Amino acid sequence: MLGNFLRLFIKLLVSLFLAVVVILGMARAITWLYSAGKMYAVETAPQARVAVVFGAGLQRDGTPSVILRDRVKTAADLYFAGKVEKILMSGDNRFIYYNEPGSMQEYAISLGVPAEDIVLDYAGRRTYDTCYRAHHIFGVEQAILVTQKFHLYRTVFTCNMLGEAAVGVPADQREYNLIWSLREIPASLVAVWEVWLSHPVPVLGEKEPIFPSEAQPAPPSSPTPTTDTLSGSG
């Protein structure tokens, strides 16, 4: 009796494991198939007014991690190649001594990018948040997304699903730890779930259009009814 129970239990575990593998694989395949044709080198990338750089952690001294430096450097290359006019640097700044966007900006300026052409998003805590805020807060309609290729499939998929006409340029300037690629497998499932099913809303705030002179003005508000109007006199 106990042996039959164990065999049944093992079969259930194997079936569950295979189901999880299939689901994870399908999610990764969806993001890969959608994004594979939307990636370019710096030299061949189509022009877009904005490059979006995704945060990737800081070192203990507050400077960008190696991965993040490669992303900023690639965005700078796009800027100097005349592919973009502005660079939106999005990262985490929840803690007083942790400022990803500020560190990214300092590094970009050291590479020669003018400060006036750098826009900072301090609430880009996740890929989804960065894509959502780029469109809804900063008014980005078309963009070149800059991150490593292992991350770019999910990024291009997410930003496009959230309303941006986005393509990607890989920031692969060296070999990276395999763990970064492995974490994209469950992260891709989360991305598919969020853009198609759960639709979470990240931290928002006042709109900050990157090109304010071109932003659509808000429609005039209806005049507040006066006492006379409410009473029907006149």
pLDDT tens-place string over residues 73-87: 999 999 999 999 999
* Model pLDDT for residues 106-164, shown as the tens digit of each residue: 999 999 999 999 999 999 999 999 999 999 999 999 999 999 999 999 999 999 999 99
Token pair for residue 129? Answer: 């948040």
- Distance from C-alpha of 54 to C-alpha of 156, rounded to nearest angstrom: 12
CATH of 17-206, one of 3.30.1330.10, 3.10.620.30, 3.40.50.620, 3.30.930.10: 3.40.50.620
pLDDT over threshold 50, residue 69: yes
Under 8 Å between Cβ of 86 and 118:
yes
Token pair for residue 211? Answer: 């090109």
Under 8 Å between Cβ of 42 and 171:
no
Residue 97: predicted pLDDT: 85
Residue 217: predicted pLDDT: 55
- Distance from C-alpha of 67 to C-alpha of 38, rounded to nearest angstrom: 21
Under 8 Å between Cβ of 115 and 109:
yes
**Global pTM value:** 0.85
pLDDT over threshold 70, residue 233: no
The whole-number average pLDDT for the span 162-183 is 94
Angle between helices 149-161 and 127-136 (to 10 degrees): 40
* Model pLDDT for residues 206-219, shown as the tens digit of each residue: 999 999 877 555 55
The whole-number average pLDDT for the span 32-36 is 94
Question: Residue 213: CB partners within 8 Å, gap ≥ 6?
Answer: none
Least confidently predicted of 117-126, 168-177, 224-233: 224-233
Domain ranges of the chain: 17-206
Question: Residue 54: CB partners within 8 Å, gap ≥ 6?
Answer: 71, 90, 91, 124, 127, 130, 145, 146, 147, 151, 155
Counts for the chain of helices (H) and strands (E), in that order: 7, 5
